[in-house]
Amino acid sequence: MKDDMTLYEAIRTRRSIGRVKSDPVERDKIERILEAGNWAPSHMCTEPWRFYVMTGSGRQILADAYADIAAENASNLAKKEMEVLRSKQGAKAFRAPLVIAVVVSPSAAPGVIRIEEFAAAHSAVQNMLLTAHALGLGAIWRSGEPMYHPRMKRAFELQEGEELVGLLYIGYPDMTPPAANRRTSASNKTVWITE
């Protein structure tokens, strides 16, 4: 772990790392990432996040869902082409030795606002990304249409109202981190109301 990394430095230097080595991520590091996600803020302390940790052959659940979704959207392909497509799409689940699916499970308690439950789950994802970075790992937050498909929901046995909010691909970096994106100054996006 990079013990000398400040929180501000972690925020400013974290990058999406899409290529990682196949080396497994140690269990204690995974647990630290999960614990960081668990300490995200949530309105009314609902803690609406759930984590599905996939390593080794456990990633096949995700691979099968990717393959089935792609096949459904290309039902007119010949058998051989379909096999190639399914293999290519299923391989996405194995791009990292560790994949964590983050799910929001909104509370039905009175006064809980559904959109705030999503905000809390997204905050958990950010905590997890920053912690992975501080531990010397590379990570990328993946989403996209397949993540919202009913087949993906079945893969993780999501209940009514639950949604995937991110697939975190994590491992030891196998690329040079990209340069920082230029950011418009916060001062250009800020309105000060003092009176």
d(Cα 68, Cα 150) in Å, to the nearest integer? 11
- Percent of the chain beyond pLDDT 90? 90
Residue 34 CA to its chain's centroid (Å): 12
Q: Which residues contact 6 (CB under 8 A, 6 or more apart)?
A: none
- How far apart, in Å, are the Cα atoms of 32 and each of 25, 74, 99, 153? 11, 40, 15, 26
Using CB atoms within 10 Å of the CB of residue 170, give its burial: 0 to 12 exposed, 13 to 18 middle, 19+ buried. buried
Average pLDDT, the chain: 95
Segments in the chain forming alpha helices (H): 7-13, 27-38, 60-72, 79-90, 114-134, 150-155
168 φ, ψ to 5°? -95, 115
Mean pLDDT score, 26-33: 98
pLDDT tens digits for 131-176? 999 999 999 999 999 999 999 999 999 999 999 999 999 999 999 9
pLDDT of residue 175: 95
Position 3 confidence tier, pLDDT thresholds 50, 70, 90: low
Residue 13 has pLDDT above 60, yes or no: yes
Mean pLDDT score, 21-39: 98
pLDDT of residue 2: 56
pLDDT of residue 171: 98
d(Cα 66, Cα 51) in Å, to the nearest integer? 19
CATH architecture of 7-58+95-176: 3-Layer(aba) Sandwich (3.40)
pLDDT of residue 75: 83
Residue 59 has pLDDT above 60, yes or no: yes
132 φ, ψ to 5°? -55, -45
pLDDT of residue 67: 97
Residue 1 has pLDDT above 60, yes or no: no
Q: What is the DSSP letter of 49?
A: E
pLDDT tens digits for 65-110? 999 999 998 989 999 999 999 999 999 999 999 999 999 999 999 9
pLDDT of residue 180: 83
Position 179 confidence tier, pLDDT thresholds 50, 70, 90: confident
